[in-house]
Structure 1
């Protein structure tokens, strides 16, 4: 048994997780609570943290075909021509992080100190700049190595 990442059709992550659970397959669809505003109201909604991804804890040899047949599943996520294995510790870290923070997002292009970026807007648009540091101290970050993502939670200081 190991955790694997599944790629799903767009915007059906929670439905795929429900279908997998109905078939007795252990799965995890991490969701982040976000405050959405419509013209007439504000509401907290749960959105999948990783768009088009669901994680399953299965025996690949015996359950992979069953997982692939679930409506909404496109395929396993592959790394080096094999289904990508996600470590138990990383799933636990995601679960713990989401239990402590609400407004969380996954960023797939991690910018680090020393990286070079190209400015998109403003008077210096098109210019390259080196990242020297970060000023915002209202962020908590957790890097998930095998997925290539960094989770960012914005902490409200009021």
Structure 2
């Protein structure tokens, strides 16, 4: 068996249910969760939400289990890269798990710019001009870049941490 991690795209807001259904079928899956404080009119509450909206990860033998995974209610399809289901490295799954074990409030940001990147300005007096990113405002944050997913995980921490 050639087991590998793959990213699945799910219907909106059913990531945890899909993960539960996959586990019930004996399929190893991972739905990274983060804690967020929600405000209602009468109270505040900490809830666990999926870190990657509409995405979960499965550790399967693609040749044997892909059709079984696709038939699970809530699964839209595998995430594809170069016309093949995208393989996620074991080390990246471990990095996400380790990062989430150390930080409780985490958010996933996609398509970020970095120092040294060149961007084209969309609006203002310099619209259409290319510019190099040379710095950011100082924030207290920890970042983990997951290159194959195109995301950065960001945890905001206190100065004492």
Is TM > 0.5 for Structure 1 vs Structure 2?
yes
Equivalent position to 2:32, from 24, 30, 33: 30
Give the Cα separation in 1 of the matches to 2:52 and 2:93. 13
State the partner residue of 2:52: 50
SS in 2 for 1:95: helix
Report the CA distance between 1:132 and its aligned residue: 1.4
Equivalent position to 1:64, from 40, 63, 66: 66
Runs of 4+ in 1 over 4 A off after TM superposition: 124-129
Q: How many residues align?
A: 155
Structure 1 gaps of 5+ residues are none
SS in 2 for 1:135: coil
Distance change (3 Å), C-alpha of 1:43 and 1:119: farther
State the partner residue of 2:23: 21
Two-structure CA RMSD over aligned residues (Å): 1.8
Give the Cα separation in 1 of the matches to 2:92 and 2:152. 12
Report the CA distance between 1:109 and its aligned residue: 1.1
For the 8 Å contact 1:32–1:46, the answer to whether it is kept is yes
Residue 118 (structure 2) pairs with residue 118 (structure 1): no
Equivalent position to 1:94, from 87, 93, 96: 96
**For residues 115-138 of structure 1, what are the alpha-carbon distances to aligned partners after superposition, in whole Å with 9 as ceiling and x for unaligned?**
336377xxx576565421123241
Q: Pairwise mapping of residues 68-147 of structure 1 onto structure 2 (< 5 A)?
A: 68-115=70-117, 116=119, 118=121, 127=127, 130-147=132-149
Distance change (3 Å), C-alpha of 1:92 and 1:40: same
For the 8 Å contact 1:8–1:72, the answer to whether it is kept is yes
The TM-score normalised by the length of structure 2 is 0.89
SS in 2 for 1:133: coil
Give the Cα separation in 2 of the matches to 1:155 and 1:125. 36
